[in-house]
């Protein structure tokens, strides 16, 4: 494996047509993987359901158990898994390039800690407005993510002209610790039942039971993905260093801003839907680099596809392995992803 | 050099000797037949101590203890995860009631020569035997027996009243992320919640899983198809609006008979999740929820 994004080797020269073909192959291949996972996942589960009955419109939905298992218990989870997995993997790629640090994850810059704090506060202190109740935890965690994003961004841009990635990193890591301490304090003050709920939230869960959280998340995620689509070339140059990128005509400050804001937005929305599901944002990008090389025009789309497929599959395991018990999906991403990644690492030496 | 290795060794030896002697010379209440200064960090047993007339001897209680109201006047000494040992020592207790899992604290007490009573929860029978054991330990054996007999009678009355009735299939939930169907915890086929449900003439849909607590997926609930869902919540101050909103959360699973037939019920109060003197009342409350026509 190549040592680090920070020391990315110069990109191998390839002809434009060849590259276009590879990009197309990667997009179609990894896209198909994600779509296949989304289609396959709702068909698998601890209960055997009949597809004919699922789509049988003569039975009212309220009495059609198979349809409810398919459309409520499985399909939203697959969609949520795909969106969250794709977002976290993409955010990982972007932040690793932006910070020129292979160890960066979507959770490095404090956004997920802000999201977690928001969720904890609602779980332990309750919801002030009954009308907001059904959306309280996702809304509060997204608000927390935006708050953290604003603080880190303000700190990284206030000292001098431009955006200091060093300050970004330090502020993010410090904010992470600070928020974690506040989270522990809030949990300490909470009732045991609330503490259990908040601890469980941190392990990640995609059993959202409806499509509404997905629809809400589509807004910020869509915005982030539009930004991601314009980033790869600039990220390639940014990994060579800000100065080299500037020499080659990249508006460094603008790229850094877009990269940070879009990655944070995607992370915030993903955490609001599924909780801070770990490991995807670091393992998937590196896995993809082992498979397709270092060019971000390939790495970014491939990571989105693989991240989506990987989380969907992990979530199938979460709801199936110990059924009727539910396993925390964050535990599975780490337990499946960790050893597999280590194996690849050793094999490629 | 004035200070030699020998000096240091002598100093250390002296220090060790002092540490060894000091606790022995300190005046400490001796273990007596009937403890006069009791601390309990276990809410169910704090409540039991008051119920069997040993409340006056209780000098310290757990942070989460809310019942009976007198506990508000006692010193709070932390809970399961964070007992404040300094405060516990300062209260000069002669008996401290701990959870069985608090082994470190129990060892510290034993080093200090302070007696402990350990609690591990189980089913209804375990709860009743713990109450009797605690009664004997604090010199209130007859009061404890009277209390457990009363609970036994209450349970027997509920059973007799509901004998021969259809036992609905029930999902007993005791934890859920507010406002959503996420992170649902329900009682499996072991422990006092399961026992209480069976005593109230309900059939636990998760009886086959021999665990006290199960985190369920919504698929598992759809498959189990309970006829009644009883949800226990600590929050006894929940407003009616909030209660209605929390019950409405279940509407998404409309194929579940309990949801379709409007048989999702919230029971408020910590007595349902703390097996103690009010266990008979809790069983009766669950029975009334499952069989309203019988009362």
The CATH number linked to B220 is 3.40.50.1980
Please indicate, yes or no, if residue B160 is contained in any of the structural domains.
no
Domain that holds residue B171: 166-294
Please indicate, yes or no, if residue B92 is contained in any of the structural domains.
yes
In degrees rounded to 5, what are phi and psi of residue B233? -135, 140
Are residue B174 and residue B259 in the same domain, yes or no? Answer: yes
Task: Tell me the chain A residues in contact with residue B79 when contact means C-beta distances shorter than 8 Å.
Answer: 192
H-run or E-run covering B219? helix B218-224
Are residue B53 and residue B119 in the same domain, yes or no? Answer: yes
Please indicate, yes or no, if residue B3 is contained in any of the structural domains.
no
Please indicate, yes or no, if residue B229 is contained in any of the structural domains.
yes
- Paired residues of A325 in beta bridges: B216
Distance CA A331, CA A338 (A): 10
At residue B97, the 3 state secondary structure works out as strand
What is the number of other CB atoms lying within 10 angstroms of the CB of residue B118?
15
Are residue B123 and residue B239 in the same domain, yes or no? Answer: no
Number of separate domains in chain B = 2
| CA B4 to mean position of chain CA atoms | 57
Distance CA A337, CA A333 (A): 5
Are residue B207 and residue B94 in the same domain, yes or no? Answer: no
A13 by Cβ neighbours in 10 Å (0-12 / 13-18 / 19+) ranks as: exposed
Tokens at A47, concatenated: 């209960």
Distance CA A334, CA A283 (A): 9
The Cα-based distances of A204 to A93, A104, A276, B124 in angstroms read 21, 20, 6, 34
Q: Do the Cβ atoms of B80 and B101 come closer than 8 Å?
A: yes
Final residue belonging to a domain, choices B101, B127, B151? B151
Final residue belonging to a domain, choices B105, B120, B151? B151
Q: Do the Cβ atoms of A191 and B80 come closer than 8 Å?
A: no
- Over 50: is that where the pLDDT of A7 sits? no
* Interface pTM, i.e. ipTM: 0.80
Please answer yes or no on whether B178 and A74 come within 8 Å at the CB atom.
no
Are residue B196 and residue B286 in the same domain, yes or no? Answer: yes
Distance CA A179, CA A186 (A): 10
Are residue B61 and residue B118 in the same domain, yes or no? Answer: yes
Q: Between A and B, how many CB-CB pairs are < 8 A?
A: 127
Please indicate, yes or no, if residue B259 is contained in any of the structural domains.
yes
Report the predicted TM-score, pTM, of the whole model to 2 decimal places: 0.83
Tokens at A333, concatenated: 């991403």
Closest CB to B178 among A68, A136, A326:
A136
Are residue B130 and residue B231 in the same domain, yes or no? Answer: no
Is residue A210 less than 8 Å (CB to CB) from chain B?
Answer: yes
Q: Do the Cβ atoms of A12 and A293 come closer than 8 Å?
A: yes
Tokens at A342, concatenated: 């280590």
- Over 70: is that where the pLDDT of A5 sits? no
Please indicate, yes or no, if residue B276 is contained in any of the structural domains.
yes
Distance CA A151, CA A175 (A): 9
Are residue B54 and residue B147 in the same domain, yes or no? Answer: yes
Please indicate, yes or no, if residue B194 is contained in any of the structural domains.
yes
Q: Which pLDDT tens digits describe chain B residue by residue (295 residues)?
A: 455 666 666 666 666 555 555 544 444 444 457 899 999 999 999 999 999 999 999 999 998 888 899 999 999 998 777 788 899 999 999 999 998 888 888 999 999 999 999 988 789 999 999 999 999 999 999 999 999 999 999 999 999 999 999 999 999 999 988 888 888 999 999 999 999 999 999 999 999 999 999 999 999 999 999 999 999 987 777 888 888 988 999 999 999 999 999 999 999 988 888 889 999 999 999 999 999 999 8
Cα maximum dimension of chain A = 66
Please answer yes or no on whether A47 and B219 come within 8 Å at the CB atom.
yes
Are residue B268 and residue B177 in the same domain, yes or no? Answer: yes
H-run or E-run covering B187? strand B184-187
In degrees rounded to 5, what are phi and psi of residue B231? -115, 120
Are residue B200 and residue B286 in the same domain, yes or no? Answer: yes
Does 3.90.1150.10 match the CATH number of domain A5-347? no
List, in order, residues 6 or more apart from A153 with CB less than 8 Å away.
A260, A261
Q: So where are chain A's domains?
A: 5-347
What is the number of other CB atoms lying within 10 angstroms of the CB of residue B153?
11
Chain B contacts in chain A segment 162-191 (CB below 8 A): 188, 191
- Minimal CA separation from A293 to chain B, in Å: 39
Please answer yes or no on whether B180 and A200 come within 8 Å at the CB atom.
no
């Amino acid at each position: 494996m190549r040592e680090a994004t920070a020391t990315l080797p110069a990109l191998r020269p390839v002809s434009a047509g060849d590259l276009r073909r590879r990009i197309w192959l990667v997009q179609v291949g990894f896209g198909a993987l994600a779509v296949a996972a989304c289609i396959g996942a709702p068909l698998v589960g601890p209960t055997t359901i009949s597809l004919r009955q699922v789509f049988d419109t003569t039975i009212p939905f309220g009495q059609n158990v198979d349809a409810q298992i398919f459309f409520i218990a499985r399909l939203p989870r697959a969609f949520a898994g795909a969106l969250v997995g794709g977002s976290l993997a993409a955010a990982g790629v972007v932040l690793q390039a932006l910070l020129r640090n292979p160890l960066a994850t979507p959770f490095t810059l404090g956004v997920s800690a802000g999201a977690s704090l928001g969720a904890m506060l609602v779980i332990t202190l309750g919801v002030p407005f009954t009308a907001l109740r059904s959306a309280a935890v996702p809304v509060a965690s997204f608000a927390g993510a935006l708050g953290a994003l604003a603080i880190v961004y303000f700190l990284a841009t206030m000292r001098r002209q431009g955006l200091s990635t060093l300050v970004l990193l330090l502020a993010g890591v410090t904010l992470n610790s600070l928020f974690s301490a506040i989270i522990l304090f809030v949990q300490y003050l909470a009732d045991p039942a609330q503490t259990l709920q908040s601890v469980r939230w941190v392990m990640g869960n995609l059993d959202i039971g409806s499509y509404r959280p997905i629809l809400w998340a589509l807004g910020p995620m869509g915005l982030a993905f539009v930004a991601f689509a314009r980033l790869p070339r600039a990220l390639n140059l940014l990994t060579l260093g800000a100065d080299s990128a500037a020499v080659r005509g990249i508006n460094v400050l603008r790229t850094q801003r877009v990269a940070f804001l879009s990655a944070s937005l995607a992370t915030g929305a993903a955490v609001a839907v599924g909780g801070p599901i770990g490991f995807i944002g670091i393992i998937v990008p590196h896995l993809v680099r082992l498979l397709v090389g270092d060019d971000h025009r390939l790495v970014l789309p491939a990571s989105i596809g693989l991240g989506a497929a990987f989380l969907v599959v992990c979530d199938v395991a979460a709801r199936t392995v110990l059924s009727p018990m539910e396993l925390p999906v964050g535990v599975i991403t780490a337990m499946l992803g960790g050893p597999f990644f280590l194996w690849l690492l050793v094999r490629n030496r | 050099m004035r200070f030699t290795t020998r000096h240091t060794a002598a100093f250390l030896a002296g220090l060790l000797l002092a540490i060894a002697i000091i606790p022995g010379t300190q005046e400490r209440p001796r273990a007596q037949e009937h403890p006069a200064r009791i601390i309990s960090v276990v809410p169910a047993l704090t409540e039991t101590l008051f119920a069997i007339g040993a409340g006056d001897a209780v000098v310290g209680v757990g942070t989460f203890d809310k019942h009976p109201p007198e506990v508000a006047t006692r010193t709070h000494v932390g809970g399961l995860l964070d007992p404040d040992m300094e405060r516990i020592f300062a209260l000069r207790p002669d008996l401290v009631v701990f959870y069985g899992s608090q082994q470190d604290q129990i060892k510290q007490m034993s080093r200090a020569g302070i007696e402990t009573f350990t609690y591990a929860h189980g089913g209804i029978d375990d709860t009743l035997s713990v109450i009797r054991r605690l009664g004997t330990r604090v010199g209130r054996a007859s009061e404890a027996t009277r209390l457990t007999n009363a609970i036994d009678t209450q349970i027997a009355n509920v059973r007799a009243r509901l004998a021969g009735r259809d036992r609905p299939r029930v999902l007993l939930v005791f934890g859920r992320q507010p406002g959503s169907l996420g992170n649902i915890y329900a009682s499996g086929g072991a422990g006092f919640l399961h026992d209480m449900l069976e005593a109230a003439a309900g059939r636990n849909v998760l009886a086959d899983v021999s665990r006290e607590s199960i985190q369920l997926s919504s698929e598992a609930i759809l498959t189990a198809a309970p006829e009644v869902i009883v949800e226990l919540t600590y929050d006894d101050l929940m407003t009616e609006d909030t209660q209605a909103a929390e019950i409405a959360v279940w509407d998404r699973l409309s194929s579940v008979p309990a949801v379709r037939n409007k048989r999702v019920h919230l029971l408020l109060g910590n007595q349902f999740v703390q097996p103690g003197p009010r266990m008979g009342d809790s069983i009766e409350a669950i029975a009334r929820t499952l069989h309203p026509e019988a009362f």
